Each structure stands twice: as C-alpha cells, then as structure tokens.
Amino acid sequence: MTKNTMDTEVGLTTEQRQKYAHDGWVVVPSLFTADECDGLIRHMDAVHAGEITVAGIVPPADGADHLIDVDQCHIHDPVCRAFMLHPKLRVPLKDALGGADPEGIKSCYWWKGSQWSQNWHCDGTALPGCIGVWIPLVDVDEEIGTLGLQTGGHLKRKLHHDDLRPGKWAGNRTHSGDPELRAKLTKEVFEENKAAGAAEVNILAKKG
C-alpha cells in the first residue's frame, strides 16, 4: 500500500495568505511535531559537543558569547539539509511566494540567542526577493528571546546592496558593503516605518 505524500502537505489558509500579504509575516502553528524539533536539537547538541563530527562545522568553544551559530549548515550537514528541504515547508512557502516553487538559499542554526549581532536590520539587502523561515524548536517569547518585526515593512522602502557601495565600496560584492552607511540607512528606514505607523511586534510562537 502506498500513500501520496502530497496528502500531508498543508498550505496557508486564505486568512494566512492575506495576513502575510498585508503584514509581511505569518505564524503557521504546529507545522513540525515535538519529536521532529527535539530530534534536530539532539543532533545539533551532539555536533556542538563534538560527539558527531560534521566536516565544515567547527563547534564554538564552551561559554563563547559569539560564534554561537553555524551558517549555511545545510551545505555540510545532511540532517540540516533534510530539515531545510522538508516537504512540510514546500506548500506554505509556495503560497507565500505567490505560487512560485521555493528554493533553499541560506540556513543558520543558533545554539544561543542572536541578540549580540541581530539588532534591527533589513534582510532584503543581502537576500533580495527572498523570504525567511524561522522554526522555533522550543516555545519562544520575549523572555527567552524572539523576533521583533515592523509589521508591513516589506511594503515600504527597501535597502539594496548598491545603496551600501559608494566610493571605495563600489563594485565590492561583499555581504554588507559600507557598515557605517548600512547602520545609518537602516535607522532611517526604521524611523520612516515607525512614523508611518508600522507596528512593532514581538513574535510569540509555540514549539514547531
């Protein structure tokens, strides 16, 4: 007996699609099971402890207040790659992309919070035309650390790579360009959005 896996792929509801289009974000509750979340945590904790060796991933030192994440983990780790390309993600992402098939572009796993480096920022600068997926592997709120968003900011002014590459940075295809200019423009956009009434929201999400 066989089963079509498409039967288990659930997309966004009409209400969720409308919210995503208007607000720029939507929470899809309980997409992953507790066992699936716990399984990835156990695997990554074992990588962190050196119990599992993954070529290309160097675990941070104990007590490190930086280097506490692994970037592009799907390139090196088949477990992370399988999670990133999980069938459960395909249909919701396709709905959010207006029917376009999603492609996995970038991945990151955080062993600790990212507040040391992740203040208000514009992800579209580095990844124009992309959308982000954040999977809470534990229950998250303001106390444990979560995402802060400006609702509707995706419909307002955007920063692009070329905005950050005047003068000596011209033609430099680095990730960020001029860091001082980036900070200045990011603040400008944040204040413009705030003045336009873009509500700030901290995402509360249950595991999965």
pLDDT (tens digit per residue) in 110-131: 887 666 666 788 877 777 788 8
Q: For residue 2, what pLDDT is reported?
A: 31
Q: For residue 107, what pLDDT is reported?
A: 92
Per-residue pLDDT for 171 more than 90?
no
Task: Dump pLDDT digits (tens) for 19-34.
Answer: 999 999 999 999 999 9
E-assigned strand segments in 72-185: 108-110, 148-150
Consecutive H or E run containing 18: helix 14-23
> pTM for this structure?
0.84
Q: How many angstroms separate the Cα of 143 from the Cα of each of 102, 113, 139, 170, 185? A: 32, 11, 11, 41, 29
Q: For residue 67, what pLDDT is reported?
A: 64
E-assigned strand segments in 54-134: 69-71, 108-110
Task: Dump pLDDT digits (tens) for 71-102.
Answer: 899 999 999 999 999 999 999 999 999 999 99
